Amino acid sequence: MNAIDPSLRHPAAEAEAAPLKGLPESERTLLVVDDDAPLCQRLARAMERRGFVVATADCVAAGVAAATAHPPAFAVVDLRLGDGSGLDVVTALRNVRPGSRIVVLTGYGNIATAVAAVKAGALDYLPKPADADAVERALLAKEGATPEPPEDPMSADRVRWEHIQRVFELCDRNVSETARRLKMHRRTLQRILSKHAPRN
C-alpha cells in the first residue's frame, strides 16, 4: 500500500501525524501483517493518517518477504496467521533490522504467548481488536517506558473465554482432552464452547 499523497491530507490528519513529523520516510515505514483483510486495511489507513508509510501482508510468507525486501522501521504483526505464526515474521525482521519497533496483535490474551512474543523481539503485545491509538502509543513508546493500562481492557469473562478457546485449539478441538487439561467437566466445557464470546 502506498503512502497518502501529502497534498490530499486533511489538516486533522496533519495534526495526528505530529509525532512522526520531520522524520525521513525510511524512519516512518510500517509493515502490517494480518490475515483479517478488513481489519488490516482499516489499521493501515488509520496509521497512514498518523504519518506512517504503510505496507501490508496477509500471511507469514508474504510478511517475511516484505520484511526482508524492505525492512520497515515499525511493524504490527498478528500472532495467528493462516500459514503459521507471526513470530516468524518478528524473527525475520529482527534479523534484517534489529532496531525495528514491533507490536504483536493476538486474539488470545495469554501470558505465555506474550512472553514468547517479547523474547522474539516484540516490544509490546496487544489483544485484538486493538485500536489505532493503542497501536501508535505502543510503537512510539519511549525505551523502557511502562505501557499505559488499556482504555478498554478485556473483561475477566472474555479473558477466561479466550483461554478456553486457545486450549481447545491446542488440543486439536478435542473436547475430552480440553476438559481434562482445564480440570473442567466435559458438559460444562461443551456449554461454554457453544456460546458466543463475551463482548468485552
Same domain assignment for residues 128 and 163: no
Structural domain contains residue 93: yes
Structural domain contains residue 149: no
Same domain assignment for residues 31 and 95: yes
Q: Tell me phi and psi for residue 101, to 5 degrees.
A: -105, 115
Contact 34, 89 (CB under 8 A): no
**Owning domain of residue 62:** 6-140
Strand arrangement, sheet containing 124-127 = 53-57, 29-33, 74-78, 101-106, 124-127
Structural domain contains residue 90: yes
- 38-92: per-residue pLDDT in tens? 989 999 999 999 999 999 999 999 999 999 999 999 999 998 888 888 889 999 9
Structural domain contains residue 84: yes
Give the CATH number for residue 65.
3.40.50.2300
Is this structure's pTM higher than 0.75? no
Q: Given this model, what pLDDT does residue 143 score? A: 61
Closest C-alpha among 20, 63, 32, 57 to residue 128: 32
